[in-house]
């Protein structure tokens, strides 16, 4: 699981901002949201322009050099570095808890996204570090550290040391680098706003979601999903041979699903597609997941998502979700003024299950700074 993340000088974050998922409180309710002492399910709130989308994208920067074959946003490196310090570096810090092993992986990139520095620690002990042409490789973990340094300097200056070791060094199947690679390969970010975009797990998604539903015999399952989460009933017709689009019946009329349903229902169709792939995921971030949803639908979708085994973070403006019936104060995060912290750290008061967290928030009783 991702235990902690920090970034400095990235887009709108001029200063270092840290998301700490490793320090949950001792609440006894909704314990499904915590796994091995790490927040498994959380929602990030904040005003427009606070940086919720940028935080999600920053977490997925690691995809761009450790999972180069996975899908990416084409414009990711546009406005990549903070405009106030364009000649500096963007500094990333990750802490992963993978089967009880703590991997700390830090690296820096320039404004073009080229790696400048990187280092890794395993359970607090240095594994390797690189700063320009200065390279350290711990011989405890890699006995031929000297030749690795020579090969890397001569042949692999533009790639990550992690990728170099994965490609050229024989590793046991339970090696921590393979665990890290597996986790990163299972990460998924997506949004459904002006454009449908995603980062991770699939090298290329199905270009036609409805074709995916038809070809996998999921029409009935999809119809039941829509009814379950949104109370909408569609009489979706069985496909004819070669059909790549869904049609449904209203009276005696036959209507194309994708161009006659609401924006919110089309967003649900996209979510359904990704739900069918989440058995492959390790970490999911959905940006403004409920931008087109009714508040009750948003709540129902959270129930669906939080039942999935992988770690899931959502961003939202919908404070209706800020309730102890869904999560807990240490799993609701406020991002504002370049800092992010859980509601449980925004007040000195003891927050109990019976408290109306949304009402307290709207009354301005939480100190977000």
Helix extents (H) in 169-262: 176-185, 209-215, 219-230, 257-260
Structure tokens at 361: 């928030």
Cross-strand bridge partners of residue 139: none
Q: How far apart are CA 359 and CA 369, in angstroms?
A: 19
Q: Are 317 and 45 in contact (CB under 8 A)?
A: yes
Q: Are 293 and 264 in contact (CB under 8 A)?
A: yes
How many residues are there in the chain?
369
Find where tokens 């609701």 sit.
Answer: 332
Q: What is the mean pLDDT of residues 89-103?
A: 97
What pLDDT score was predicted for residue 207? 57
Query: Would the CA dihedral through 246, 250, 253, 259 be positive or negative?
Result: negative
Cross-strand bridge partners of residue 119: 106, 129
Structure tokens at 343: 């509601």
- Give the pLDDT band (50/70/90) at residue 257: very high
- Give the pLDDT band (50/70/90) at residue 198: confident
Phi, psi for 79 (deg, rounded to 5): 55, 40
What pLDDT score was predicted for residue 196? 61
State pLDDT tens for residues 286-322: 998 888 889 999 999 999 999 999 999 999 999 999 9
Find where tokens 């931008």 sit.
Answer: 291
- Give the pLDDT band (50/70/90) at residue 110: very high
203, pLDDT greater than 60: no
Q: Give the Cβ contact number of residue 143 at 10 Å.
A: 11
**Which of the 8 DSSP states describes residue 239?**
P
Of 116-120, 126-130, 164-168, 205-209, the poorest mean pLDDT is in: 205-209
What pLDDT score was predicted for residue 193? 56
What pLDDT score was predicted for residue 191? 85
State pLDDT tens for residues 29-86: 999 999 999 999 999 999 988 999 999 999 999 999 898 777 778 888 889 999 999 9
- Of 312, 317, 264, nearest to 288 (Cα)? 317
Helix (H), strand (E) counts: the chain: 11, 19
- Give the pLDDT band (50/70/90) at residue 13: very high
205, pLDDT greater than 70: no
- Give the pLDDT band (50/70/90) at residue 156: low
Q: Classify residue 134 by burial, with Cβ atoms within 10 Å: 0-12, 13-18, 19+.
A: exposed
What pLDDT score was predicted for residue 340? 96
What pLDDT score was predicted for residue 155? 72
- Of 72, 36, 343, nearest to 199 (Cα)? 72
Q: How far is CA 180 from the centre of its chain?
A: 15
CA angle (184 as vertex; 61, 18 as ends), nearest 5: 50
């Amino acid at each position: 699981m991702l235990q902690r993340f920090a970034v400095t000088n990235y887009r709108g974050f001029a200063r270092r901002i840290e998301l700490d998922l490793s320090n949950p409180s001792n609440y006894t309710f909704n314990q499904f949201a915590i796994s091995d002492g790490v927040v498994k399910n959380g929602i990030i709130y904040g005003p427009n322009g606070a940086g919720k989308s940028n935080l999600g994208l920053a977490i997925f920067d690691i995809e761009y050099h450790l999972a180069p074959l996975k899908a990416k946003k084409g414009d990711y490196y546009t406005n990549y570095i903070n405009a106030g310090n364009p000649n500096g570096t963007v500094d990333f810090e990750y802490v992963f808890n993978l089967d009880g092993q703590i991997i700390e992986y830090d690296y820096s990139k320039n404004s073009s996204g080229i790696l400048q520095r990187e280092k890794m620690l395993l359970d607090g002990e240095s594994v390797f570090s690189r700063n320009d042409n200065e390279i350290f490789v711990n011989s405890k973990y890699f006995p031929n550290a000297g030749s690795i340094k020579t090969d890397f300097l001569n042949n692999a200056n533009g790639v990550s040391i992690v990728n170099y070791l994965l490609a050229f060094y024989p590793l046991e199947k339970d090696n921590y680098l393979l665990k890290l690679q597996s986790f990163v390969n299972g990460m998924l970010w997506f949004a459904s706003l002006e454009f449908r975009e995603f980062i991770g797990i699939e090298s290329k998604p199905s270009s036609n979601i409805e074709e995916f539903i038809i070809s996998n015999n999921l029409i009935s399952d999809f119809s039941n999903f829509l009814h379950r989460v949104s109370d909408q009933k569609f009489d979706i017709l069985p496909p004819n041979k070669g059909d790549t689009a869904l049609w449904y019946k209203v009276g005696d009329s036959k209507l194309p699903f994708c161009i006659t349903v609401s924006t919110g229902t089309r967003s649900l169709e996209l979510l359904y597609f990704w739900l069918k792939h989440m058995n492959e995921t390790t970490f999911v971030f959905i940006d403004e997941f409920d931008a087109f949803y009714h508040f009750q639908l948003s709540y129902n979708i959270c129930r669906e998502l939080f039942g999935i085994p992988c770690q899931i973070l959502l961003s939202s403006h919908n404070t209706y979700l800020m309730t102890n019936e869904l999560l807990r104060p240490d799993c609701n995060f406020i991002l504002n003024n370049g800092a992010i912290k859980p509601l449980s750290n925004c007040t000195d008061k003891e927050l109990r299950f019976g408290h109306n967290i949304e009402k307290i928030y709207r009354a301005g009783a939480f100190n977000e700074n």
